[in-house]
Structure 1
Amino acid sequence: MPVFVLLLVMMLAEIAVIVAIGQAIGVLVTILLLVAVSVVGVAMLRRQGTRTLTAFADAVRSRRDPQPQMVDGMLVGVAAGLVLFPGFVSDVLALFLLFPPTRAIVRRRMLRRAEQRRPRQVIVVDSEVVQPEDDRPIVIESVREDRD
């Protein structure tokens, strides 16, 4: 239900902004401006998507925490959806998410909020590696102490 309401409000805002801009600068110029902003958005989307994917691969390869790159990838995906949604409001929001400095602000807030919501429970697993006899595969036996 809330997503439906959000989409409805977004559509109404987009229509209102398009009509207002159309009345101010003309219909043809408004349509050309919508197309131009979408083309710029798609070009930035390709570039930032490639950069984010490369940064993610580098983080995994160098065994660093890939969480920031994963959030960036998600934000670029949201920006892709916004670019496809016709209108000025969604395109401005998409460009906001595609610019690395502004995306970094959103990413930091999301990571901080996720850290605050993360459960503080720690599960300890006691385990022992048993060396195989002969050429059998290694068997790992473990016991979870938090279960009965």
Structure 2
Amino acid sequence: MLRFMAFLAWPLIEIGLFVVIGGQIGLWATLAWVVLTGVAGVALLKFEAARGAVLIRGGLSGHALPEGAPVAGLMRALAAVLLILPGFLTDALGLLLLLPPVQTLVSGAVMSRITILRRPGQGPGARDEVINGEWVEVPPEANRRRQMPSRWTEED
């Protein structure tokens, strides 16, 4: 019930902050802030997506991922999404998530709630069984189907 109430209160807090801060800095400054943080969030999200792709490619080619890189990347991507969403509270949380000490605190809190189950013998290289068999190379001409051409593919 508490989560539901927080979910309902979030937009009300954002509207209240828009009214209070917008009254202090003005309409155009408020709109500029929303647009600029949205653009910054999109740019950060694109950068993190490209960086994540490079890390994944490196991991697939056998290079070890830097310690904590996936979690830090997810934190920065979440910060980018929060910056994209309009609102001063979401922007403040997004900017806080860009700070490494805050990332460490949040990732530690999240990881403490996650249980990772590993079974012995699973994963790459876990199976040592060898399957023997025989093979015959089939020439491409012999592999084609021998049937009448379709009337849909015939040229007139």
TM-score normalized with structure 2 length: 0.60
Q: Structure 1 residues 68, 83: closer, same or farther in 2, change over 3 A?
A: same
| Distance in 2 of aligned mates of 1:130 and 1:87 | 59
- Letter of the 1:47 partner, please give it: F
Gaps of 5+ in 1: 137-148
Greater fraction of residues in helix: 1
SS of the aligned residue for 2:53 comes to helix
| Distance in 2 of aligned mates of 1:53 and 1:105 | 25
Greater mean deviation of Cα atoms: 88-97 or 72-81: 72-81
Kindly report which structure 2 residues correspond to 1:102-141, keeping only aligned pairs within 5 A, or say none: 102-111=102-111, 113-114=113-114, 117-119=115-117, 122-123=119-120, 129=129, 132=132, 134-135=134-135
Q: Structure 1 residues 130, 58: closer, same or farther in 2, change over 3 A?
A: closer
| Distance in 1 of aligned mates of 2:82 and 2:42 | 10
Match of 1:87 in 2: 87
Paired residues of 2:44 and 2:80 also in contact (CA < 8 A): no
SS of the aligned residue for 1:129 comes to coil
Paired residues of 1:44 and 1:98 also in contact (CA < 8 A): no
Kindly report which structure 2 residues correspond to 1:61-100, keeping only aligned pairs within 5 A, or say none: 61-64=61-64, 68-98=68-98
Q: What count of residue pairs does the alignment treat as equivalent? A: 133
| Distance in 1 of aligned mates of 2:108 and 2:7 | 26
Q: Structure 1 residues 80, 2: closer, same or farther in 2, change over 3 A?
A: farther
Greater fraction of residues in strand: 1
Gaps of 5+ in 2: 137-156
Paired residues of 1:75 and 1:97 also in contact (CA < 8 A): yes
Q: Is 1:51–2:66 an aligned residue pair?
A: no
| Distance in 2 of aligned mates of 1:101 and 1:58 | 26
| Distance in 1 of aligned mates of 2:76 and 2:47 | 10
Match of 1:145 in 2: none
Q: Report the structure number with the largest CA radius of gyration.
A: 2
TM-score normalized with structure 1 length: 0.62
* % identity of equivalent residues: 29
Match of 1:146 in 2: none
**Cα RMSD (Å) of the superposition?**
3.6
Paired residues of 2:38 and 2:85 also in contact (CA < 8 A): no
Paired residues of 1:76 and 1:97 also in contact (CA < 8 A): yes
